[in-house]
Structures are given as C-alpha cells and as structure tokens.
Amino acid sequence: MTTALTLSGSIRKGSYNRLLQHHVGGKLEAAGVRVTALELGDFEMPIFNEDLEADHLPESAVRLAELWRTHDIIFIATPEYNGSMPPLLVNTLAWLSRQKPSVFRHAIFGIGGVSSGKYGTIFAQSHLRDSLSKVGALVVPTLLGIGPAEQALDAEGNPTEPAIIRKVDAIVHELTHFSRG
C-alpha cells in the first residue's frame, strides 16, 4: 500500500496549515493511501549549528529522517513568514539534509500553504520548492497556495473556492501517480 507523511510548518494552536495538512491527508486516504500525520512539535531540535553535529545529533532528527526515507509521499503545508519559509521548517530541513542516506531521494513531495495574505504563501512555496529540488527531491508541479485563510477555508479547514478544490484534486492525483522510477 502506498504510504504518505503529512506535516505542517506551523505548530501553533489553530494553525491554518495544520488544517490544510489534514485536509490533504484526508484526500490522500480517500485515494487509497495510508497516511501518517506528523506534528513537528513531537520532533524538537535545537537551532542547527555544525558544531552540534558530531556529538549532539538530535534523536528526533534521526527519527524524522527514517520516517522520510520510508514513506512514498511527503506533503508539507508551509506558512509564509516575511516572504519566505518559517524558521521551524528551515531548521528541520537543515537537520534532515545532513543525514545519510538522503531523506529526499525516495518520496514524491507535494507542497502547499495557507496564509492570511492574498498571495497564499507563493513566496514561501517558491523557496521551499527550490530548496527541496536543490537537495534532490522530486516535487510535483501543482503548488497549493491558499489565502486569505479566513475566506479560503471553512471552519473545518475545507477549501471554499472551486479553483482550490480542483487544485487539491490535482496535487493528490500527481502525488499518487508520479514515480521516481
């Protein structure tokens, strides 16, 4: 059975990106995928510093890396902070990128994001896609940018706009049909 990990780059209570994470996870399950929904808050890591690598590689980074290596699909919902990725995601990617074998070369990656602004995290997603591509990840083409959050999602986190609903279907289709060969 195809497996997926979903995660949100925001761990705040009431995070819109967590709502998107679970919405996409539900759609993947409906497509026959076994989904593991991660909370990055369960994988605490210090701010990355090369000096820490030799003796203080966080156990949570090792655990997370193994999960990334053993799932077929990874969906990341990213917030946008100051036109870029939030520090939680940058830090997580830094720790993951230093581990061998690569955590980026197995799964198919999908990215999306919700922001309070009308551009719907397009800047953050652009940075995230570039960064993932740089380290060897295969990222599907549909980018799921959603905003402003209060209008674009209902109280349960379901997208309200037909164009976004179609994009969710498109990214789920791509995630379940792309392959690294």
- In the shown chain, the binding pattern of residues 160 to 179 toward ligand FMN, with x for contact by CB under 6 A and - for none, equals --------------------
When asked if residue 10 is in the footprint of ligand FMN (CB under 6 A), the reply is yes
Residue 37 CB, nearest approach to ligand FMN (Å): 15
Residue 29 CB, nearest approach to ligand FMN (Å): 21
Residue 60 near residue 41, CB atoms below 8 Å: no
Of the candidates 52, 106, 117, 127, which one interacts with ligand FMN according to CB under 6 A? 117
Of 56-64, 78-86, 89-97, 163-171, the window that binds ligand FMN (rule: CB under 6 A) is 78-86
Of the candidates 6, 92, 115, 142, which one interacts with ligand FMN according to CB under 6 A? 115
CA 111 to each of CA 21, 87, 179: distance values in angstroms, whole numbers, following the listed order = 10, 17, 16
| One-letter identity of residue 173 | H
How many binding residues for ligand FMN (CB under 6 A)?
15
Distance in angstroms (rounded) separating the CA atoms of residues 79 and 86: 6
Residue 65 near residue 102, CB atoms below 8 Å: no
When asked if residue 87 is in the footprint of ligand FMN (CB under 6 A), the reply is no
Instruction: List all residues 6 or more positions away from 30 whose beta carbon is below 8 Å from its beta carbon.
Output: none
Residue 44 CB, nearest approach to ligand FMN (Å): 18
Return the sign of the alpha-carbon dihedral for residues 51, 101, 65, 15.
Answer: positive
Distance in angstroms (rounded) separating the CA atoms of residues 179 and 138: 9
- Tell me which residue has tokens 């990990």: 5
Of 15-23, 62-70, 152-160, 161-169, the window that binds ligand FMN (rule: CB under 6 A) is 15-23
When asked if residue 75 is in the footprint of ligand FMN (CB under 6 A), the reply is no
- Tell me which residue has tokens 């902070």: 81
> Interface with ligand FMN by CB under 6 A: which residues?
10, 12, 15-17, 79-83, 115-117, 119, 149
